[in-house]
Chain A
């Protein structure tokens, strides 16, 4: 069937909505939101890092751009969550484009350091921007009864969702599914093949007529926009945001570790990585010891680098090839 994947995506979105209607325990929506957010981050990182081989260490900067765009819009126009996410995506996408334009002539470790520097610059700007709370941070009071196109979205009795966490979970789930669809589309398109060629050898790709700079700019823009969309609801999720939370290095580490563990060659890798690592982190944070979650990332990453450098996807492919011989 030609549109089998798209139908599955639609069914998953419907499934997410059903979940919000039948699961009463809000805690699952809290941790579900975080895992889904990481899924978007990992998928977005993989478009540039996995397909194109350009390692972005500044993922937290793009996520925070989305988050602080949302805060600025709340303060300025008191707009709804969906509008915040769209605006967050646009601004982070523009930032991605600008970053790409300025840094894509850099390669390897130089590009990675440039993206890290970008996050630090952004954090410094935000820390001195009092309108969005500055370094002290700001509290965000989500709208009690938000509406979208005249429809009451959140209300205990008459809304589509019983509470705000369900709404956030559904939105992030929908974004995660859409981002996976985008990643899969790119993977199978000219853009994906071009990025793969760049990853193998940029000089060779250029000699073969691949418009390397243009493809990289498209990839940084899409990747940045996706991270911005993922970051926009952060302020509403935390109801308090400060640079420490938004620019946390944990986002950058996880955005890299999850595709590395799942496998960078396919769209499924970041999804698997995010599900496994995100779940393990949430479980360890709240049931074992909170500081263990980064240790888990480190240990699992080391184990994978040693025994499965191409991630779970690559490993299974190898296993299948080995057993078919």
Chain B
């Protein structure tokens, strides 16, 4: 009898275990709270954990600030805005299911992409199939294959993003009169696209590629790669890397050193506060792409400075565990939803065709200045900047919030410094 009772208890325990998971699932929601009845829902996946979480988390906060702002102004079409989002864990495998849920279950009205090329790619076909406007956040050339007319990308890399992304870096290092180049790139879609563009620019400049190496994104020790590159004695080294690889390569540079006159170019992650503070003086001399830095000439983005101040205050006040400075992604994450919002209000409806037509034909005024989209939904011109890390003395994060540590080399009209050789700044 006792045995039968024990068995029954076990059965109910098991049933309870599974029931609990299902019930729990219904009771907890990650979506933001609607502030009004019948809000306009904007759905997206975001890398809140995993390799790109550093970018994904700051993007989300910027988007939430935009939602607060737009709701204070009365929302879109007189309705409040609600952000509905799920963590894609920086794993493309999770993205199709998330967008299907957003559209079919959560019934979102609009969709935007998560952060990063690899996370945008799996969402593209769903947007295309549903014929929805799809705003992209920092995807590299995602639409070159699809040529989807309702896709728009906020990455300011120009109509040919792979080439436009590194164009200024090559123009900047041209002053050092290089003849040879080494190219090191992560084996990932974004980095490989960057590499293709860099090779095109190098060939245009007549540089001889003496070393070309892809590395596995899981690589931990980069010293063998750098030693192999150094053995070819390149005049400059172009690196296209993701955050983990960028940090590893900077550490390897500190250990191995190089005689190359310029190093950097397409290193993602060096713009993140955590990495900048962690690497500190090891960054000196590296020249890299960027989009917004606290230099006085960046006033060409009139709203960005204020937005970043609000973001930084929010991070401090709420003690949030996100990027403390937010220079890299905050203005752009705000802008890409803002453009969508402006288009919806201007069109006066949620008609996806009309919204897409409006975005395609309009020059938008945003926190990142004027934005006009061109071929394949990319920016009609490149506005990537080249900075060089200079005068970094310690690991204090605050120094990166002030002018002088990331001086702008190009474009010339907002330049705040002269490119120095890598070795001259490594003391």
- Residues on A lying within 8 angstroms of B by beta carbon are 25-28, 30-31, 34, 124, 127-128, 134-137, 139, 141-142, 163-165, 237-240, 242, 244-245, 248, 276, 279-280, 282-291, 296, 300, 303, 307-308, 312, 315, 318-319, 322-323, 325
**Chain B nearest CB: distance from A311 CB in Å?**
11
**Is A27 a contact partner of B100 (Cβ separation < 8 A)?**
yes
Known A127-B216, A135-B216, A287-B28: A31·B97 in contact at CB below 8 Å = yes
Known contacts A136-B187, A137-B189; A285/B92 CB under 8 A: no
Q: List the A residue with the shortest CB-CB distance to B97.
A: A30
Q: Judge whether B101 and A27 touch: CB under 8 Å.
A: yes
| Contact status of A307 and B13, CB under 8 A, knowing A237-B96, A286-B101 | yes
A-B contact pairs, 12 of them (CB 8 A): A134-B214, A135-B186, A139-B146, A240-B121, A280-B21, A285-B86, A286-B86, A286-B101, A291-B87, A307-B13, A318-B7, A322-B7
- Indicate if the CB atoms of B91 and A141 lie closer than 8 Å: no
Q: Are B214 and A135 in contact (CB under 8 A)?
A: yes
Given the complex, which residues of A lie within 8 Å of B13, measured CB to CB? 307
CB-contact partner of B94 in A237, A242, A285, under 8 A: A285
Select one of A25, A137, A141, A276 contacting B118, CB under 8 A.
A137
The chain B residue sitting closest to A291, CB to CB, is B49
Residue contact A276 to B216, C-beta cutoff 8 Å: no
Closest-by-CB residue of B relative to A296 is B21
CB–CB B87/A244 < 8 A: no
Closest to B45 in A: A290
Seen from chain B, the residues whose Cβ lies within 8 Å of a Cβ on chain A are 3-4, 7-8, 10-11, 13-14, 17-18, 21-22, 24-26, 28-30, 49, 86-89, 91-98, 100-101, 103-105, 118, 121-122, 124-126, 129, 145-146, 186-189, 191-193, 214, 216-217
CA distance A248 to B93 in the complex (A): 9
Tell me whether B101 and A134 are in contact (CB under 8 A).
no
A280 pairs with B22, CB closer than 8 A: yes
Check A290–B94 contact: CB distance below 8 A. Answer: yes
Closest to A281 in B: B21
Return the contact of A238 from the options B8, B26, B122, B187 (Cβ within 8 A).
Answer: B122
Query: Do most interface residues of chain B lie in helix, strand or loop, or is the interface mixed?
Result: helix
- Residues of A with C-beta under 8 A to B189: 136-137, 242
Whether B192 pairs with A136 at a CB distance below 8 angstroms is yes
B11 — nearest CB in chain A belongs to which residue?
A319
Q: Are B125 and A286 in contact (CB under 8 A)?
A: no
Partner of B187, one of A27, A134, A285, A312: A134
Is A276's CB under 8 angstroms from B18's CB? Answer: yes
Q: Which residue of A lies closest to B193 (CB)?
A: A136
Interfacial chain A residues near B125, Cβ < 8 Å: 139, 141-142, 239-240
- New A-B contacts (14) at CB < 8 Å, excluding given A288-B24, A315-B10: A25-B105, A26-B103, A27-B103, A127-B187, A127-B216, A164-B129, A239-B122, A239-B124, A242-B118, A244-B91, A245-B93, A282-B97, A286-B86, A286-B98
A210 to B424, CA, bound (A): 75
> Which of A136, A322, A323 touches B188 (beta carbons < 8 Å)?
A136
A239 to B3, CA, bound (A): 52
A164 to B125, CA, bound (A): 11
